[in-house]
Amino acid sequence: MTPEIEALRQKLDLIEDKLISLLNERVKYVLEIGKIKHEKGLPVEDPKRQELILNRVVQKNSNPTSDEFIKNIFKKIIEESIRLEKQI
């Protein structure tokens, strides 16, 4: 690889590391919310909240990433959040 490509890939690696860290930070809050839901007898899934999240992230998208791609990523994040909350 060229030094230019290698330098850019190193930047991508840093971004990926940040993404992982942010996802794990998000999970900490998901688990806290899951505990509260469990204590209060509330359902794990909240379709209205899920729709709000998906609408918000699409609105925040400034392209060139497609809205559908962003939506699909967050659908997977929501699926994992639900899976983790159900384990509480």
Q: Domains of the chain, with CATH numbers?
A: 3-86 (1.20.59.10)
- What's the pLDDT score for residue 50? 98
Query: Looking at residue 63, what is its pLDDT?
Result: 85
- Below-70 pLDDT ranges, the chain: none
Give, in order, the Cα–Cα distances in Å from 27 to each of 20, 21, 22, 62, 78: 11, 10, 9, 25, 10
Rounded Cα–Cα distance for residues 86 and 72 (Å): 21
Please name the residue that has the structure tokens 């290698």.
6
Helix, strand, coil share of the chain (percent; to 5): 80, 0, 20
The pLDDT assigned to 1 comes to 87
What are the tens digits of pLDDT across the range 12-31?
999 999 999 999 999 999 99
**Three-state DSSP class for residue 2:** coil
